[in-house]
Amino acid sequence: MYVLGMDVGGTSSRALLLDASGRRSGYGHAAGGNPAAHGNAAAVANIGLALGSALRGTDPALVAGAVVGLAGSGALERPVFDRMWAATGLRVAPRLVGDLGIAFAAGTAEPHGTVLIAGTGAIAARIEDGEPVTVADGLGWLLGDQGSGFWLGRRAARAAARALSRGDAGGTLTRLVMDALLDDTPPRPEATDPETPAPGRGVVGEMGDGAAGEMRALAIRLVVRAQSRPPLELARLAPLVARAAAEGDPVAREIVSTAARLLCETVAEVRPADGTGPIVLAGGVLAGDGPVGAAVRERLGSGAVPAGDGAGAAAWLAGREAFGWDPATAALLHARVAFGR
Protein backbone atom coordinates (compact mmCIF):
# COMPACT_ATOMS: atom_id res chain seq x y z
CA MET A 1 0.00 0.00 0.00
CA TYR A 2 1.03 3.56 -0.65
CA VAL A 3 0.15 7.14 0.21
CA LEU A 4 0.40 10.19 -1.99
CA GLY A 5 1.36 13.73 -1.10
CA MET A 6 1.28 16.83 -3.28
CA ASP A 7 2.67 20.32 -2.83
CA VAL A 8 1.09 22.59 -5.44
CA GLY A 9 2.04 26.25 -5.79
CA GLY A 10 2.22 28.99 -8.36
CA THR A 11 5.60 27.90 -9.70
CA SER A 12 5.52 24.11 -9.50
CA SER A 13 3.36 21.07 -8.77
CA ARG A 14 5.15 18.19 -7.03
CA ALA A 15 3.83 14.75 -6.13
CA LEU A 16 5.45 12.09 -3.94
CA LEU A 17 4.46 8.46 -3.42
CA LEU A 18 5.45 6.69 -0.17
CA ASP A 19 5.06 3.12 0.99
CA ALA A 20 4.12 2.11 4.55
CA SER A 21 7.77 2.14 5.63
CA GLY A 22 8.21 5.74 4.49
CA ARG A 23 10.26 4.79 1.43
CA ARG A 24 9.90 7.04 -1.62
CA SER A 25 8.34 5.02 -4.41
CA GLY A 26 7.50 7.65 -7.02
CA TYR A 27 7.95 11.31 -7.77
CA GLY A 28 6.45 13.73 -10.26
CA HIS A 29 7.04 17.38 -11.11
CA ALA A 30 5.18 19.79 -13.37
CA ALA A 31 4.52 23.51 -13.77
CA GLY A 32 2.47 25.55 -11.33
CA GLY A 33 -1.00 24.36 -10.31
CA ASN A 34 -2.37 27.34 -8.38
CA PRO A 35 -5.83 27.88 -9.93
CA ALA A 36 -5.94 31.50 -8.79
CA ALA A 37 -2.74 32.23 -10.69
CA HIS A 38 -3.10 30.01 -13.76
CA GLY A 39 -6.81 29.35 -14.17
CA ASN A 40 -8.46 26.02 -13.44
CA ALA A 41 -7.86 24.29 -16.76
CA ALA A 42 -4.09 24.88 -16.86
CA ALA A 43 -3.64 24.38 -13.12
CA VAL A 44 -5.49 21.07 -13.00
CA ALA A 45 -3.68 19.86 -16.12
CA ASN A 46 -0.32 20.52 -14.46
CA ILE A 47 -1.40 18.75 -11.28
CA GLY A 48 -2.40 15.78 -13.40
CA LEU A 49 0.99 15.70 -15.09
CA ALA A 50 2.78 15.58 -11.73
CA LEU A 51 0.41 12.87 -10.51
CA GLY A 52 0.93 10.76 -13.61
CA SER A 53 4.70 10.86 -13.21
CA ALA A 54 4.56 9.90 -9.53
CA LEU A 55 2.20 6.98 -10.20
CA ARG A 56 4.11 5.59 -13.18
CA GLY A 57 4.62 1.87 -12.67
CA THR A 58 2.29 1.73 -9.63
CA ASP A 59 -1.29 0.46 -9.50
CA PRO A 60 -3.33 3.53 -8.43
CA ALA A 61 -5.75 1.24 -6.59
CA LEU A 62 -2.98 0.55 -4.06
CA VAL A 63 -2.92 4.18 -2.88
CA ALA A 64 -4.61 4.23 0.53
CA GLY A 65 -4.44 7.92 1.32
CA ALA A 66 -3.70 11.27 -0.31
CA VAL A 67 -3.13 14.80 0.93
CA VAL A 68 -2.91 17.65 -1.56
CA GLY A 69 -1.56 20.98 -0.36
CA LEU A 70 -2.90 23.51 -2.83
CA ALA A 71 -2.13 27.22 -2.97
CA GLY A 72 -5.12 29.17 -4.26
CA SER A 73 -7.49 26.37 -3.22
CA GLY A 74 -10.34 28.84 -2.83
CA ALA A 75 -10.35 29.39 -6.60
CA LEU A 76 -10.43 25.68 -7.44
CA GLU A 77 -13.39 24.41 -9.47
CA ARG A 78 -13.77 21.08 -7.75
CA PRO A 79 -15.57 19.26 -10.61
CA VAL A 80 -12.64 20.03 -12.92
CA PHE A 81 -10.20 18.67 -10.33
CA ASP A 82 -12.32 15.60 -9.58
CA ARG A 83 -12.49 14.60 -13.26
CA MET A 84 -8.72 14.78 -13.53
CA TRP A 85 -8.29 12.79 -10.31
CA ALA A 86 -10.63 10.03 -11.46
CA ALA A 87 -8.83 9.82 -14.80
CA THR A 88 -5.60 8.81 -13.01
CA GLY A 89 -7.29 5.66 -11.68
CA LEU A 90 -6.96 6.73 -8.05
CA ARG A 91 -9.81 5.39 -5.91
CA VAL A 92 -8.98 7.16 -2.68
CA ALA A 93 -10.52 10.59 -2.19
CA PRO A 94 -7.86 13.26 -1.66
CA ARG A 95 -7.83 15.55 1.34
CA LEU A 96 -7.31 19.04 -0.04
CA VAL A 97 -5.62 21.48 2.33
CA GLY A 98 -4.14 24.93 1.95
CA ASP A 99 -0.46 25.49 1.52
CA LEU A 100 -0.04 26.87 5.06
CA GLY A 101 -0.52 23.56 6.85
CA ILE A 102 1.71 21.75 4.38
CA ALA A 103 4.48 24.34 4.69
CA PHE A 104 4.36 24.09 8.50
CA ALA A 105 4.47 20.29 8.39
CA ALA A 106 7.44 20.54 6.03
CA GLY A 107 9.47 22.11 8.83
CA THR A 108 8.36 20.29 11.96
CA ALA A 109 6.42 17.33 13.30
CA GLU A 110 5.09 19.54 16.09
CA PRO A 111 1.35 20.34 16.02
CA HIS A 112 1.60 23.99 17.14
CA GLY A 113 3.64 26.99 16.02
CA THR A 114 3.90 29.54 13.25
CA VAL A 115 4.63 29.43 9.54
CA LEU A 116 5.91 32.17 7.24
CA ILE A 117 5.88 31.59 3.50
CA ALA A 118 7.66 33.99 1.16
CA GLY A 119 7.80 32.89 -2.44
CA THR A 120 6.14 34.77 -5.25
CA GLY A 121 3.66 35.89 -2.57
CA ALA A 122 3.93 36.13 1.21
CA ILE A 123 1.70 34.94 4.04
CA ALA A 124 1.99 33.93 7.70
CA ALA A 125 -0.22 31.88 10.02
CA ARG A 126 -0.45 30.62 13.55
CA ILE A 127 -0.89 26.84 13.52
CA GLU A 128 -2.84 24.84 16.08
CA ASP A 129 -3.21 21.07 15.75
CA GLY A 130 -1.69 21.33 12.30
CA GLU A 131 -4.26 23.82 11.01
CA PRO A 132 -4.02 27.60 10.50
CA VAL A 133 -6.16 29.52 12.98
CA THR A 134 -4.92 33.08 12.40
CA VAL A 135 -3.61 34.36 9.07
CA ALA A 136 -1.84 37.57 8.02
CA ASP A 137 -1.16 38.97 4.54
CA GLY A 138 -1.46 36.65 1.56
CA LEU A 139 -3.47 39.48 -0.02
CA GLY A 140 -1.97 39.25 -3.48
CA TRP A 141 0.55 41.24 -5.48
CA LEU A 142 -1.61 44.34 -5.81
CA LEU A 143 -2.70 44.84 -2.20
CA GLY A 144 -0.34 42.74 -0.09
CA ASP A 145 2.39 40.08 -0.20
CA GLN A 146 4.82 42.37 1.60
CA GLY A 147 8.44 41.19 1.34
CA SER A 148 7.61 38.53 -1.25
CA GLY A 149 9.45 37.67 -4.43
CA PHE A 150 7.08 39.87 -6.39
CA TRP A 151 7.58 42.70 -3.90
CA LEU A 152 11.35 42.38 -4.24
CA GLY A 153 11.17 42.32 -8.03
CA ARG A 154 8.90 45.34 -8.20
CA ARG A 155 11.11 47.29 -5.84
CA ALA A 156 14.14 46.40 -7.96
CA ALA A 157 12.46 47.51 -11.18
CA ARG A 158 11.19 50.69 -9.54
CA ALA A 159 14.62 51.57 -8.17
CA ALA A 160 16.23 51.07 -11.58
CA ALA A 161 13.57 53.10 -13.40
CA ARG A 162 13.79 55.97 -10.95
CA ALA A 163 17.59 56.06 -11.07
CA LEU A 164 17.61 56.17 -14.85
CA SER A 165 14.85 58.76 -15.01
CA ARG A 166 17.03 61.08 -12.92
CA GLY A 167 19.93 60.58 -15.32
CA ASP A 168 21.67 58.48 -12.68
CA ALA A 169 23.57 55.44 -13.93
CA GLY A 170 22.80 53.66 -10.67
CA GLY A 171 24.78 50.71 -9.40
CA THR A 172 24.85 46.95 -9.71
CA LEU A 173 21.11 46.50 -9.19
CA THR A 174 20.22 48.95 -11.96
CA ARG A 175 22.56 47.21 -14.39
CA LEU A 176 21.18 43.78 -13.53
CA VAL A 177 17.57 44.91 -13.93
CA MET A 178 18.37 46.50 -17.29
CA ASP A 179 20.07 43.33 -18.44
CA ALA A 180 17.01 41.30 -17.42
CA LEU A 181 14.37 43.56 -18.94
CA LEU A 182 16.12 45.16 -21.91
CA ASP A 183 18.71 42.63 -23.02
CA ASP A 184 16.58 41.36 -25.90
CA THR A 185 15.89 44.87 -27.22
CA PRO A 186 17.55 45.16 -30.65
CA PRO A 187 19.94 48.08 -31.00
CA ARG A 188 18.69 51.12 -32.87
CA PRO A 189 20.24 51.75 -36.30
CA GLU A 190 22.04 54.85 -35.10
CA ALA A 191 23.66 52.81 -32.32
CA THR A 192 26.18 51.42 -34.80
CA ASP A 193 28.19 54.60 -34.20
CA PRO A 194 30.67 53.74 -31.40
CA GLU A 195 29.93 57.14 -29.87
CA THR A 196 26.26 56.20 -29.38
CA PRO A 197 25.54 53.40 -26.87
CA ALA A 198 22.88 50.79 -27.69
CA PRO A 199 20.01 50.25 -25.21
CA GLY A 200 20.91 46.68 -24.35
CA ARG A 201 23.46 44.87 -22.20
CA GLY A 202 26.05 47.05 -20.52
CA VAL A 203 24.41 50.31 -21.56
CA VAL A 204 24.76 52.06 -18.23
CA GLY A 205 28.45 51.30 -18.00
CA GLU A 206 29.04 52.79 -21.45
CA MET A 207 27.23 56.10 -20.95
CA GLY A 208 29.04 59.33 -20.41
CA ASP A 209 28.13 62.34 -18.32
CA GLY A 210 26.02 63.87 -21.09
CA ALA A 211 23.68 60.91 -21.44
CA ALA A 212 20.88 62.05 -19.07
CA GLY A 213 18.35 62.27 -21.89
CA GLU A 214 19.30 58.83 -23.13
CA MET A 215 18.96 57.45 -19.62
CA ARG A 216 15.48 58.94 -19.32
CA ALA A 217 14.54 57.23 -22.58
CA LEU A 218 15.87 53.95 -21.19
CA ALA A 219 13.82 54.42 -18.04
CA ILE A 220 10.66 54.77 -20.12
CA ARG A 221 11.60 51.73 -22.18
CA LEU A 222 12.20 49.74 -19.01
CA VAL A 223 8.80 50.79 -17.66
CA VAL A 224 7.05 49.85 -20.89
CA ARG A 225 8.81 46.48 -20.99
CA ALA A 226 7.94 45.71 -17.35
CA GLN A 227 4.30 46.71 -17.79
CA SER A 228 3.89 44.70 -20.99
CA ARG A 229 4.39 41.45 -19.09
CA PRO A 230 2.11 39.68 -16.59
CA PRO A 231 2.68 41.46 -13.26
CA LEU A 232 3.84 38.36 -11.40
CA GLU A 233 6.77 37.98 -13.79
CA LEU A 234 8.47 40.75 -11.83
CA ALA A 235 9.14 38.10 -9.19
CA ARG A 236 11.85 36.81 -11.53
CA LEU A 237 13.88 39.88 -10.64
CA ALA A 238 14.03 38.92 -6.95
CA PRO A 239 17.28 36.92 -7.28
CA LEU A 240 18.90 40.01 -8.77
CA VAL A 241 18.30 41.85 -5.50
CA ALA A 242 20.13 39.09 -3.64
CA ARG A 243 23.00 39.15 -6.12
CA ALA A 244 23.35 42.93 -6.02
CA ALA A 245 23.17 42.97 -2.22
CA ALA A 246 25.94 40.38 -2.05
CA GLU A 247 28.04 42.67 -4.24
CA GLY A 248 27.49 45.57 -1.86
CA ASP A 249 24.88 47.58 -3.77
CA PRO A 250 23.36 49.93 -1.15
CA VAL A 251 19.94 50.10 -2.83
CA ALA A 252 19.69 46.31 -2.95
CA ARG A 253 20.76 46.05 0.68
CA GLU A 254 18.07 48.51 1.70
CA ILE A 255 15.47 46.50 -0.21
CA VAL A 256 16.61 43.32 1.54
CA SER A 257 16.45 44.97 4.96
CA THR A 258 12.97 46.36 4.33
CA ALA A 259 11.70 43.01 3.02
CA ALA A 260 12.95 41.22 6.15
CA ARG A 261 11.33 43.82 8.40
CA LEU A 262 7.99 43.53 6.60
CA LEU A 263 8.02 39.74 6.74
CA CYS A 264 8.78 39.76 10.46
CA GLU A 265 5.96 42.27 11.01
CA THR A 266 3.65 39.82 9.24
CA VAL A 267 4.79 37.09 11.63
CA ALA A 268 4.11 39.39 14.58
CA GLU A 269 0.50 39.78 13.44
CA VAL A 270 -0.18 36.09 14.07
CA ARG A 271 2.31 35.20 16.80
CA PRO A 272 1.91 36.73 20.27
CA ALA A 273 4.98 38.02 22.06
CA ASP A 274 4.89 34.98 24.37
CA GLY A 275 4.15 32.58 21.53
CA THR A 276 5.73 29.14 21.62
CA GLY A 277 6.53 26.49 19.06
CA PRO A 278 8.76 26.71 16.01
CA ILE A 279 8.51 29.36 13.31
CA VAL A 280 8.78 27.49 10.03
CA LEU A 281 10.23 29.49 7.14
CA ALA A 282 9.17 28.34 3.67
CA GLY A 283 9.34 29.61 0.11
CA GLY A 284 12.12 30.56 -2.25
CA VAL A 285 12.76 34.00 -0.76
CA LEU A 286 13.54 32.44 2.64
CA ALA A 287 15.31 29.30 1.43
CA GLY A 288 19.02 28.60 1.56
CA ASP A 289 21.54 31.27 2.39
CA GLY A 290 19.81 34.15 0.58
CA PRO A 291 20.06 37.58 2.22
CA VAL A 292 16.36 38.01 2.99
CA GLY A 293 16.16 34.63 4.69
CA ALA A 294 19.33 35.36 6.66
CA ALA A 295 17.97 38.72 7.81
CA VAL A 296 14.63 37.18 8.80
CA ARG A 297 16.34 34.40 10.78
CA GLU A 298 18.49 36.96 12.56
CA ARG A 299 15.41 38.94 13.55
CA LEU A 300 13.35 35.94 14.64
CA GLY A 301 16.09 34.13 16.53
CA SER A 302 16.58 30.46 17.29
CA GLY A 303 12.88 29.62 17.01
CA ALA A 304 13.03 29.92 13.22
CA VAL A 305 13.51 26.63 11.36
CA PRO A 306 13.65 25.94 7.63
CA ALA A 307 10.96 24.02 5.79
CA GLY A 308 11.90 20.81 4.06
CA ASP A 309 10.14 19.07 1.18
CA GLY A 310 6.50 20.13 0.96
CA ALA A 311 5.45 17.12 -1.11
CA GLY A 312 7.18 14.91 1.43
CA ALA A 313 5.31 16.65 4.25
CA ALA A 314 1.97 16.10 2.49
CA ALA A 315 2.81 12.42 1.98
CA TRP A 316 3.87 12.17 5.63
CA LEU A 317 0.50 13.59 6.71
CA ALA A 318 -1.28 11.11 4.46
CA GLY A 319 0.81 8.24 5.84
CA ARG A 320 0.16 9.23 9.43
CA GLU A 321 -3.57 9.05 8.73
CA ALA A 322 -3.61 5.93 6.51
CA PHE A 323 -1.02 3.80 8.28
CA GLY A 324 -1.53 4.94 11.89
CA TRP A 325 2.16 5.45 12.64
CA ASP A 326 2.87 5.79 16.36
CA PRO A 327 4.36 9.15 17.48
CA ALA A 328 7.95 7.91 17.60
CA THR A 329 7.74 6.34 14.15
CA ALA A 330 5.99 9.41 12.77
CA ALA A 331 8.74 11.71 14.11
CA LEU A 332 11.47 9.49 12.68
CA LEU A 333 9.80 9.30 9.27
CA HIS A 334 9.17 13.04 9.23
CA ALA A 335 12.90 13.71 9.46
CA ARG A 336 13.55 11.16 6.72
CA VAL A 337 10.79 12.22 4.31
CA ALA A 338 10.88 15.99 4.75
CA PHE A 339 14.65 16.41 5.18
CA GLY A 340 16.21 13.21 3.88
CA ARG A 341 17.88 12.47 7.22
Domain assignments of the chain as residue spans, ordered by start: 1-106+308-341
* 28 or 209: which leads in pLDDT: 28
Beta strands of 193-315 (E only): which ranges? 279-282, 304-306
pLDDT band of 182, cuts 50, 70, 90: confident
Return mean pLDDT, the chain.
89
Q: Report the pLDDT value the prediction gives residue 45, as an integer from 0 to 100.
A: 97
CA–CA dist 181, 159 (Å, integer): 13
Return the CATH number of the domain spanning residue range 1-106+308-341. Answer: 3.30.420.40
Q: Tell me the percentage of the chain whose pLDDT exceeds 90.
A: 73
**Has residue 341 got a pLDDT over 80?**
no
Q: Report the pLDDT value the prediction gives residue 205, as an integer from 0 to 100.
A: 44
Those residues whose C-beta lies under 8 Å from the C-beta of residue 8, and which sit 6 or more positions away, are 14, 32, 33, 34, 43, 47, 50, 68, 69, 70, 71, 99
Average pLDDT over residues 196-225: 64
**Has residue 199 got a pLDDT over 50?**
no
For the chain, the maximum distance between any two Cα atoms, rounded to a whole number of angstroms, is 75
82-119 per-position pLDDT tens digit: 999 999 999 999 999 988 999 999 999 999 999 999 98
Q: Report the pLDDT value the prediction gives residue 1, as an integer from 0 to 100.
A: 94
Q: Report the pLDDT value the prediction gives residue 210, as an integer from 0 to 100.
A: 56
328-339 per-position pLDDT tens digit: 999 999 999 988
**137 touches 145 (CB < 8 A):** yes
249-273 per-position pLDDT tens digit: 999 999 999 999 999 999 999 998 8
Nearest to 102 by CA among 85, 86, 119: 119
